[in-house]
Amino acid sequence: MLSLKINILIFYLIFLISLIFVSLIIIISSLFLSTFQVQNISKVWILAILKVLKKLCGISWNIKGKENVPNTPFIIASNHQSPWESFFLQTLFIPTSSIMKKEILMIPFFGWAISRLHPISINRKMKIESLKKVIEMGGARIQNGYAILIFPEGTRKKPEDGIGKFGNSCGLLASNEAVPIVPICHNSGKYWLNKSFKKKPGEINIVIGKPIYGNDPKVLTEKAHKWIKENYSKMN
């Protein structure tokens, strides 16, 4: 147990130091490189730091359904339990624009770097305005070749709480832009504990579903929610 605590401490030291370093690289390189190139720099760092997590804390991952990821723009709709998926899911498709709360962009170095990756920041207290922003900016991003990463639950949930209610932004955006929703289910919160420095060794399971097509926003959202809920129940 003591050894794991020391390894967790070492992981966070490596994480923070490398985060500042890669943030500076992203900020500077964004001045003369394309978003595609800058996001690939981010991807290299993310995969590297997750390998460090695996080595020091014993948290590995197993992916099923990677063949379901399209090679054209789509909506990623995933459940949300920890920071792990916020990082990892950005590596599935380049470029990806993530929906996130605006406060993240205010974090020194990290937030400044994230802003160079073309996210869509929202004020979660202003739901109608935020939805309009997601639809407008998300549509523009899709037209420019981006995938859109959305956590429809709106916030992180504890693993024992299951899958929460979905907002309708993923369905609206998918129907408006005639692109599919790719549902993704995982159990990262069992090992990377939310709002805690604690880590538990184990294997994160990630299942990527087949693209969901349709014209009705509500039906699209319901199908994504049902698929994620059913697959999450199989993990526990």
Confirm whether 180 is domain-assigned.
Answer: yes
Collapsed DSSP state (helix, strand, coil) of residue 144: coil
In a domain, 183, yes or no: yes
Query: Residue 150's domain is classified under what CATH number?
Result: 3.40.1130.10
Chain centroid to Cα 48, Å, comes to 16
Return d(Cα 75, Cα 112) in angstroms, integer. Answer: 24
Contacts of 227 (CB under 8 A, 6+ apart): 183, 185, 209, 212
pLDDT at 217: 95
pLDDT at 195 (0 to 100):
78
Residue 46 domain flag: no
75-78 sheet: strands from edge to edge: 59-64, 202-208, 181-186, 75-78, 147-150, 96-101, 120-122
CA quadruple 112, 78, 43, 65: dihedral, nearest 10? -170
List the domain range (segments joined by +) for residue 127. Answer: 60-235
pLDDT at 2: 64
Does the residue 198 lie in any domain? yes
A 10 A CB-CB count for 40 gives 15
Domain count of the fold of the chain: 1
Q: Half-sphere exposure of residue 68, counting CA atoms within 13 Å on the CB side?
A: 18
pLDDT of residue 137: 95
Residue 160's Cβ-side half-sphere holds a number of Cα atoms within 13 Å equal to 1
Residue 29 lies in a domain: no
DSSP 204: E
Q: Would you give the DSSP letter of residue 120?
A: E
Question: Residue 7 falls within a domain, yes or no?
Answer: no
Q: What is the pLDDT along the chain (236 residues), one digit of tens a residue?
A: 668 899 999 999 999 999 999 999 999 999 999 999 999 999 999 999 999 999 999 999 999 999 999 999 999 999 999 999 999 999 999 999 999 999 999 999 999 999 999 999 998 888 888 889 999 999 999 999 999 999 999 889 999 999 999 999 999 999 999 999 999 999 999 999 887 888 999 999 999 999 999 999 999 999 999 999 999 998 86
Q: Within a domain: residue 8?
A: no
Stated pTM of the model: 0.93
In this prediction, residue 196 carries a pLDDT of 81
pLDDT score at 15: 97
- For residue 131, being part of any structural domain is answered with yes
Non-local CB neighbours of 26 within 8 Å, separated by 6+ positions:
38, 41, 42, 113, 116, 117
